[in-house]
């Protein structure tokens, strides 16, 4: 995984949370299951310019403890209060661009079982 860019209110006052990464190989690195008090979008884009809808990867993303297998470029909407993750890349044939963003100035999370947030 290669971190590319990060923005939030700590970087630029009033800045909206947004971070980007490239995934080059399978990985088990992932945040634990957590929730936010803001809506979040997770974007996964395949790195083949001749076939941009094909992810050329297999990604498992858990939403409310349900496993979803993602194999095409997409945007996943995570409503506020929805538990999500882990997120694991099982197979990567070509690099995958990932962006996560939410309408907040600070990205923070509440892990499952942590009532204090």
User: What was the pLDDT predicted at 112?
Assistant: 66
pLDDT of residue 117: 35
Number of domain units in the chain: 1
**Which residues of the chain, if any, have pLDDT below 70?**
1, 107-117
Rounded Cα–Cα distance for residues 10 and 102 (Å): 15
Q: Look at residue 45 in the predicted model and tell me its pLDDT.
A: 98
Asked whether residue 117 is domain-assigned, the answer is: no
**Which positions ≥6 away from 44 have C-beta within 8 Å?**
55, 59, 70, 73, 74, 75, 76, 96, 97, 98
User: Whole domain around residue 69: which residue ranges?
Assistant: 2-111
Q: What is the pLDDT of residue 33?
A: 95
Q: What is the mean pLDDT of the chain?
A: 90
Please report whether residue 116 resides in a domain.
no
Q: What is the CATH number of the domain that holds 78?
A: 2.60.120.10
Is 52 a domain residue? yes
Q: Indicate yes or no: pTM above 0.85.
A: yes
Joined together, the tokens standing for residue 16 give 């909206």
Q: Is the CA virtual torsion 27, 29, 35, 36 positive or negative?
A: negative
């Amino acid at each position: 995984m290669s971190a590319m860019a990060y923005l939030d209110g700590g970087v630029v006052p009033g800045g909206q949370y947004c971070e980007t990464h490239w995934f080059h190989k399978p990985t088990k690195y992932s945040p634990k299951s957590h929730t936010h008090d803001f809506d979040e979008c997770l974007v996964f884009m395949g790195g083949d310019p001749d076939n941009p809808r094909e992810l050329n990867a297999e990604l498992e993303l858990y939403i409310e403890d349900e496993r979803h297998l993602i194999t095409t470029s997409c945007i996943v909407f995570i409503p506020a209060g929805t538990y999500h993750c882990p997120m694991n890349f099982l197979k990567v044939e070509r690099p995958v661009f990932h962006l996560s963003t939410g309408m907040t100035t600070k990205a923070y999370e509440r892990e499952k079982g942590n009532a204090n947030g």
